Structure 1
Amino acid sequence: MIEKIISGVTIECVKGDIAKQPDITAVVNAANAWLKPGGGVAGAIHRAAGPGLEEECRPLAPIKPGQAVITGGHNLPNRYVIHCLGPRWGIDKPEDKLLADCYRNALKLADEHKIDSIAFPAISTGIFGYPVEEAAKVALKTIKEVIPTLKYIKKIRFVLHSDRDLTVHEKVLASL
């Protein structure tokens, strides 16, 4: 695990399962527009949270790329789930702005709810096809820009699914 402290906020990268982060207050779901269970991150979070999460999500959908909404954590070990719809690579334009909006809006919602720790997956890098290195650069650059405006968040964790994704995110974090 690598970590870096920026303006009193610890940013760390770990390999693991986003639905198994018991020391984190809010996890971020790489959601689909209808906030339904799916594959990848959305599937893992919905399976772990149970059917109450889908029920709570129903009136909040649909959301647009870059948007974020918040729900309870249900059966997850986390108090909250923040759902973000990332851009589909080559389809939703401009991809970099929409992806940055996901991170910016998730952090803003977390701070509004006085959340002290948040875990992100690599939004849009799965079925949505965003190249991992470009996505990591957008994500970490955006987080670095937003940190000075945050009042409550003290820990930001990236939970990556593969060794390759972890290595890429650690390299980008180290270069900040």
Structure 2
Amino acid sequence: MQLCDEHGLASVAFPAISTGIYRFPADRAAAIAVRTVVDALPSAPGVTQVIFCCFAAPSGELHQAVLDAFGSPCA
């Protein structure tokens, strides 16, 4: 998010990685990713869109559940 702010970027995408071959727990990965972005957004006020790029439906569902817990609108 800091780099987005420094370079004047309005959007950024984060891939859901490490949960496949590296077997990092997908639920923890989703929670960490979403929490980190939510916490960092105030430091990058120009960012208007964040995309969590999930490569499988279960990963997308986990990310959506975490986003829903924040009451975050998303498409």
2:52 corresponds to 1:158: yes
RMSD (CA atoms): 1.2
**Percent of counterpart pairs with the same letter?**
34
Match of 2:7 in 1: 113
Tell me which protein shows more strand as a share of its residues.
1
Q: May I ask how many residue pairs the two structures share in their alignment?
A: 70
1:21-65 Cα shifts (integer Å, max 9, x gaps): xxxxxxxxxxxxxxxxxxxxxxxxxxxxxxxxxxxxxxxxxxxxx
Dislocated runs of 4+, deviation >3 Å: none
In structure 1, how many angstroms separate the alpha carbons of the residues matched to 2:42 and 2:13? 18
Match of 2:69 in 1: 175
Match of 1:144 in 2: 38
Match of 2:73 in 1: none
* Unaligned stretches of 5+ residues in structure 1: 1-106
Tell me which protein shows more helix as a share of its residues.
2
* Unaligned stretches of 5+ residues in structure 2: 71-75
In structure 1, how many angstroms separate the alpha carbons of the residues matched to 2:5 and 2:17? 19
TM-score (norm 1): 0.38
In structure 1, how many angstroms separate the alpha carbons of the residues matched to 2:62 and 2:52? 11
TM-score (norm 2): 0.83
